[in-house]
Structure 1
């Protein structure tokens, strides 16, 4: 299972990208890992005013259901990150607008090891598709 994400500045320019791999799971868990690691990354980088765009409406819905934590423990990690002292907005974005993150998630899926990779610059194969969106 691969996951990935992109951090952009207020103008939509690439700041950082990441992808990772986690054995087992499903698409919703993949989206949850991407959200958890992106929130942790921006917190660690000390960005305190953040808009987080998620292209999985199912994840946004399950975050509203506090009972889901029993069956989906990663939600507790996400909710704790969201509850930190910062200006954080999580909103829905269309998959078409999130192609770079989806590309990175596919790259994470093909990495076949339980780790994550942080990228300062966009990969060559992603630069064209990223520039069309930004």
Structure 2
């Protein structure tokens, strides 16, 4: 399924709008996994992390993965790849994947990237999406992805490789509470205005 909510690609005039951004739970019957990747420098220590939650905001499963050394976009893609695996293994069959990396989502959406440096990883991600389930890829902002952001950075304290988290680490208590309360944060959003005449 093609990614949803990726910003438009037109040439309409852009303007900034102040919006309140926060995490929102998925609809009843769905689960949501928020994922993120982090890398120090162009090619530096990198990790990824994510959290699977239900429509009440309850923690179902989390993960961190110490990736060793890679780029930021690689870390973001690995976060999506592992997040899909965690959700599938947890029994999710109607899933929303939220990432704050618009670039990673756009790379997954493309189909003419056989020569891209991450072509193998992109193919592996698409194969997971193509399993017998419904997956929506959604772009969010960092303010709505704070738990995954924390996990991706925290992953570097773990040994190399992936670690599943049945319970949230203690340091996440405040952020998880903010999400449950619907806490939002102001952000200037760059958006475009379609000035073309209506049909």
Per the TM superposition, whether the score is higher than 0.5 is: yes
- Asked whether the equivalents of residues 61 and 86 of structure 2 are also in contact (C-alpha less than 8 Å), the reply is no
Task: Provide the rounded CA distance (Å) in 2 between the counterparts of 1:48 and 1:66.
Answer: 24
> What secondary structure, in the 3-state scheme, does the structure 2 residue paired with 1:129 have?
helix
1:123 corresponding residue in structure 2: 169
The 3-state SS of whatever aligns with 1:67 is coil
CA distance in 2, matches of 1:44, 1:69: 28
Report how far residue 42 of structure 1 moved. Answer: 1.2
What is the CA distance between 1:67 and its match in structure 2? 2.9
Superposed CA offset, 1:32-84 (max 9, x none):
11100110111122211111111110101111222334321211110001111
In structure 1, list runs of 5 or more residues that go unmatched.
none
1:51 aligns with 2:104: no
Using structure 2 for the length normalisation, give the TM-score.
0.63
Structure 1 residue 95, shift from structure 2 partner: 0.8
**Match of 2:179?**
133
For 1:61, the equivalent position in structure 2 comes to 106
Q: How does 1:12-31 map to 2 (within 5 A)?
A: 12-31=57-76
Give the alignment's TM-score, normalised by structure 1: 0.92
| Structure with the bigger percentage of strand | 2
CA contact (8 A) 1:7 1:15 kept: yes
CA distance in 2, matches of 1:69, 1:6: 30
Question: What residue in structure 2 maps to residue 106 of structure 1?
Answer: 153
Aligned 8 A contact 1:2 1:110 in 2: no
Structure 2 residue runs without a partner (length 5+): 1-45, 181-199
Q: Deviations over 1:83-117 (max 9, x none)?
A: 11111111111111111111111111232x32111
